[in-house]
Amino acid sequence: MPLLAGQVLRTAVEAGSAVVVTQGSVSVRPSPVWLGESMVSGRTVLNEGEAWVSERGGWIEISASGAAQVVALPAVRPAAARPWLPILRWLRIGEARKTKDCPWPDLPPLVPR
C-alpha cells in the first residue's frame, strides 16, 4: 500500500498483525493504553526492510515522513484457535478403536451401545 509524504493511515488490527516497510520510512503509533491515571501511546519509526508486530488488537496509525510503501500482514492464528481440531482427534481415536491394533483398548465406549 503506497503512502505519500505526510499521509496518515488509520486502521484496525488484531494482536499479532504485522506492518512491513518495503520502501521509505514510516512511524507506527499503536492505540493508547492506560498506565495508572494517564494514557500513554508509544511510537516506532520503521525504515525500509523493518517490521512491527502488534502486541494487542486495536487501532493503529501509520504516518509517512516521505513517500513510502508498506505491507500489512494479518495475524497468524495458532492451532488452538481451530475449535474443530479436538473433534478430528476424537474421531481418529474412534476409528482406531475399531481395529485390532488399537493403542487405547481400555477406553470407555465413545457412543453408548
Cβ 21 vs Cβ 72: under 8 Å:
no
Taking the CA atoms of residue 75, residue 78, residue 84 and residue 86 in that order, the dihedral angle to the nearest 10 degrees is: -170
d(CA 91, CA 68): 50
Per-residue pLDDT of the chain (113 residues; tens, 9 = 90+): 889 999 999 999 988 899 999 999 999 999 888 888 888 888 999 999 999 999 888 899 999 989 999 998 888 766 556 666 666 666 665 555 555 565 555 555 555 44
Nearest to 62 by CA among 102, 35, 31: 31
Topology classification of domain 2-73: Jelly Rolls (2.60.120)
Structural domain spans, the chain: 2-73
pTM value? Answer: 0.63
